[in-house]
């Protein structure tokens, strides 16, 4: 079995856990909150909150499988049937619904626990990559640089929110946030793709709005979308996260700069390696349409990174060491870029790089599941709870 995945001190700290969140979204407050209060009544009292969370994630996994079947190139010119994009909207909406009612289910059944937050946010970390894949398909981005930037922004944004919660102890969602307004906008985007096809996003702004500066006339809706989320990310999300972490570090007497360097060098290494591998002229990920499997491989690695931080938050532990799943990513980036700096023939061929990516994905998935299973088993054993089932004596009526 190996060494215990959690120490006795970490397990003991689980009993000090108190969930804290702030959601300032007006859409949540005045609309969706009431929808979720109604939706929770559909779920039986003997359905475990974590099972609700997992079921929600399965909807997105099913969407990704459909993407690999019908639109593996992610290109607008090779669009799938209309119902595919409607299924994306339905899958994401159901995921969001299940993701928001699991906490209500925990409270109505008296089964709230630290495991619920780990399970919930761990699934959210995996969904960051999965949702990005179907988003690229619906936009018809294909294997392109905008698709690369979509992923970089998505994972960096989620990571910053995760490390922010680690420092502040509170999950903060602003007046406009991705889990609420972002999900609604994506569902609308998927529906538009279902009605008009992904090629609609190649429409130039000049065809929609006549009086625009020349440099905007020929910018299409795809480019506008990527630029918009990029600008919003750097002007709103990043400053708020770092300000909240600065405030938390100052209140706890921690050196802010040192904490930020230590806590964020892992995501920096991750995104830099990701970017330099996929954009290397000696890589075939984009040119031979291997981007989707590449995202699955690095997405599991990202899920492990964030889950370890969430676990450290729950157990009040020091910021975790980098995951070993980063090693194949960094190695792949180095291999793909060696011919740029050393006079050698390219090491990767299209076939060998693809095989490397498939092996990376399978290995990462196996190791992630093994690690997650051991963590869940440790927590369940210590707290005397079950992960996906509710003992009959715990269920209670409304």
Radius of gyration of the chain from its Cα atoms, rounded to whole angstroms: 22
Positions of E strands within the chain? 21-23, 171-173
Q: Among all chains, which residue has been given the structure tokens 């400053």?
A: 239
Q: Among all chains, which residue has been given the structure tokens 């509710």?
A: 390
Picking from 162, 164, 175, 106, the residue whose alpha carbon sits closest to that of residue 308 is: 162
Picking from 142, 89, 100, the residue whose alpha carbon sits closest to that of residue 123 is: 100
Picking from 176, 164, 355, the residue whose alpha carbon sits closest to that of residue 256 is: 164
Maximum CA extent, the chain = 71
CB 390 within 8 A of CB 48: yes
In degrees, rounded to 5, the angle at the alpha carbon of residue 51 between the alpha carbons of residues 49 and 56 is: 100
Written as six digits, the tokens of 216 are: 């905007």
Written as six digits, the tokens of 247 are: 């405030």
Residue 291 sits at φ, ψ, to 5 deg, of -65, -40
Q: Among all chains, which residue has been given the structure tokens 């992904």?
A: 198
CB 264 within 8 A of CB 163: yes
How distant is the alpha carbon of residue 294 from its chain centre?
15
CB 303 within 8 A of CB 369: no
State the distance between the two ends of the chain, measured CA to CA, in whole angstroms: 42
Orientation of helix 49-70 relative to helix 82-109, angle to 10°: 170
Whole-Å CA distances, 90 to 62, 68, 141, 366? 11, 18, 21, 29
Residue 14 sits at φ, ψ, to 5 deg, of -60, -30
324 burial type by CB count under 10 A (0-12 exposed, 13-18 middle, 19+ buried): exposed
Choosing from 34, 78, 121, 167, which is the catalytic residue?
121
The reply to whether 288 belongs to the active site is no
Q: Which residues are catalytic?
A: 121
């Amino acid at each position: 079995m190996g060494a215990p995945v959690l120490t006795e001190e970490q397990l003991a700290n689980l009993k000090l856990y108190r969930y804290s969140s702030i959601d300032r979204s007006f859409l949540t407050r005045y609309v969706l909150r009431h929808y979720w209060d109604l939706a929770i009544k559909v779920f039986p009292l003997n359905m475990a909150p974590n099972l609700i969370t997992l079921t929600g994630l399965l909807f997105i996994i099913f969407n990704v499988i459909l993407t690999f079947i019908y639109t593996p190139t992610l290109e607008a010119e090779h669009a799938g049937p209309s119902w595919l994009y409607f299924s994306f909207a339905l899958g994401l909406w159901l995921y969001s619904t299940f993701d928001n009612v699991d906490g209500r289910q925990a409270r109505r059944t008296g089964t709230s626990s630290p495991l619920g937050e780990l399970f919930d946010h761990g699934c959210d970390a995996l969904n960051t990559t999965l949702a990005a894949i179907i988003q690229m398909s619906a936009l018809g981005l294909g294997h392109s640089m905008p698709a690369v930037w979509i992923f970089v922004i998505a994972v960096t944004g989620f990571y910053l929110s995760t490390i922010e919660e680690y420092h502040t102890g509170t999950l903060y969602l602003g007046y406009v946030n991705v889990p609420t307004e972002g999900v609604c906008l994506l569902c609308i985007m998927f529906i538009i793709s279902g009605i008009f096809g992904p090629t609609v996003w190649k429409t130039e702004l000049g065809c929609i709005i006549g009086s625009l500066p020349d440099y905007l006339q020929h910018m299409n809706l795809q480019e506008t979308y990527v630029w918009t989320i990029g600008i919003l990310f750097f002007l709103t999300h990043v400053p708020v996260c770092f300000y909240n972490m600065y405030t938390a570090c100052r209140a706890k007497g921690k050196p802010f700069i040192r904490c930020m360097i230590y806590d964020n060098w892992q995501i920096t290494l991750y995104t830099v390696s990701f970017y330099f591998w996929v954009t290397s002229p000696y890589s075939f990920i984009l040119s031979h349409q291997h981007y989707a499997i590449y995202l699955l491989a690095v997405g599991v690695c990202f899920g492990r990174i964030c889950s370890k931080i969430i676990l450290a938050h729950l157990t009040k532990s020091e910021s975790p060491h980098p995951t070993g799943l980063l090693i194949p990513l960094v190695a792949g980036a180095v291999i793909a870029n060696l011919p740029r700096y050393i006079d050698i023939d390219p090491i990767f061929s299209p076939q060998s790089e693809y095989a490397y990516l498939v092996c990376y994905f399978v290995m990462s998935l196996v190791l992630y599941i093994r690690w997650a299973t051991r963590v869940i088993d440790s927590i369940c054993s210590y707290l005397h709870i079950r992960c996906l089932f509710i003992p009959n004596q715990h269920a209670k009526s409304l």
